[in-house]
Amino acid sequence: MTGKQGKLTRAYGFLSTHPPTQCGLATFNSALAAHLTNGDMGGGIVRVTAEGDDERPAPGVVHTWSPGRPDGWKAAAAALDDFDVAIVQHEYGIYPGQDGEDVLPLLRGLTVPSIVVLHTVLTGPTPRQRRLLQQITAAADAVVTMTGTARDRLLTGYHVNPGKVSVIPHGAADHARVPARRRLRPHLLTWGLLGPGKGIEWALRALALLGDLTPSPTYTVAGKTHPKVLEHHGEAYRNRLHRIGAKLGVSTSVRYDPVYRDNASLSALIRSANVVVLPYDSPEQVTSGVLIEAVAAGIPIVATSFPHAVELLTGGPGLLVPHEDPVAIAAAVRRILTEPGLAENLTGRTRALVPALLWPAVAARYDDLAGRLLAARAPAVVAARP
């Protein structure tokens, strides 16, 4: 199909937070956009910003939807209508209006097909949140969840047309192309934007239980504090972690790396790890980009039993532990570091999973979905002609 910009491809418009905003949604949208447009930006980004965001022009951004603009959704919708298909990232907190409700009239106003990507599906939403998500899915031409768990939760907890819902996994970079660089001491790693709920305090307590190993492990906590956490609470959580580490006597074995990394730097860091530790507190998390990246990198994982981890790691490339249980975390890490053949067995289980998780394969599935939506509309357009 020839896109509206004269290219022999579909032209995509993307609605999302986007770099230089630093959050998981922005990182996801940036990667998906790059792979769907082959990096040549045969599409465009409608960037959603929050108070205090850097709003200087960024590559690929064709419009900025800023907070505080009455009816800002109208201009955003008009910008998306310049493309063949609109891909809309959804979280309750990123759009203007209560629970981000202003995305709803935007979806209803689009003339091009829309794909809504759900990054969160709550088991206990407020009545307003449930009603809003149902209206969003009704307005969209297609809905994507990134796990089967999220799809099941959506179909059982909300009134949604099942025929609209597809499962396409969160994409990952091909970190395994980077050679593994093991350190003198076993290296545990957690990364991602930092804030309460990450469960790092439980990993620190687990680290203190591993001091008898020779050599004893080191632990890297990589990532800046989440911008919203920083805005409202400053570095209180990070400072609390420092105090916990000092009290446990593990401070010299823990490295805090408050850097937002590019892909090359992140790949090198991940491939230096012996174990990725995901000690998250929330039992709600149906999508974790960090989990997908760790699996794609071929690193053994110890994770609490949040839904995405249960779905991906059961019988797979990691070990599951209860929430808020440092003894269980320490026991699982100890097994991976000391039990002959276990690490190799776990990483061997990733080989069948990884090809479908890499960004080119994920982008191809979005492209296939978009093609089906456009094909379904074509007969209607022909029938409507006089």
Q: Report which residue type is found at 224.
A: K
What is the predicted pLDDT for the residue at 378?
73
| 369 or 57, higher pLDDT | 369
pLDDT at 373 over 80: yes
Element (H, E) at 363: helix 359-384
Q: Which DSSP symbol is given to 370?
A: H
Most confident of 4-13, 240-249, 259-268: 240-249
Percent of the chain, pLDDT > 90? Answer: 72
What is the predicted pLDDT for the residue at 53?
72
What is the predicted pLDDT for the residue at 299?
93
Q: Report which residue type is found at 154.
A: L
Domains and CATH numbers, the chain: 12-170+358-384 (3.40.50.2000), 175-355 (3.40.50.2000)
Judge residue 127's burial from the number of C-beta atoms within 10 Å of its C-beta, 0-12 exposed, 13-18 middle, 19 or more buried. Answer: exposed
What is the predicted pLDDT for the residue at 50?
81
In whole angstroms, give the CA distance from residue 131 to residue 121: 13
CA angle (267, 268, 272) in 5-degree steps: 115
pLDDT tens, residue by residue, 176-187: 788 888 788 999
pLDDT at 13 over 90: yes
What is the predicted pLDDT for the residue at 2?
41
pLDDT at 7 over 60: no
Percent of the chain, pLDDT > 70? Answer: 95
Model pTM score? 0.89
pLDDT bracket for residue 129 (50, 70, 90): very high
pLDDT at 384 over 60: no
Average pLDDT (83-99) is 94
pLDDT tens, residue by residue, 256-295: 999 878 888 889 999 999 999 999 998 888 889 999 999 9
| 14 or 21, higher pLDDT | 14
pLDDT tens, residue by residue, 314-371: 888 999 999 999 999 999 999 999 999 999 999 888 888 899 999 999 999 999 999 9
* Mean pLDDT, rounded, of the chain: 90
In whole angstroms, give the CA distance from residue 368 to residue 311: 25
In whole angstroms, give the CA distance from residue 225 to residue 43: 31
| Residue 281: CB atoms within 10 Å | 17
pLDDT at 52 over 50: yes
pLDDT at 165 over 80: yes
What is the predicted pLDDT for the residue at 9?
72
pLDDT at 155 over 80: yes
In whole angstroms, give the CA distance from residue 353 to residue 318: 13
What is the predicted pLDDT for the residue at 379?
65
The region, left, alpha or beta by phi > 0 then psi within -120 to 50, assigned to residue 91 is: beta
What is the predicted pLDDT for the residue at 353?
85
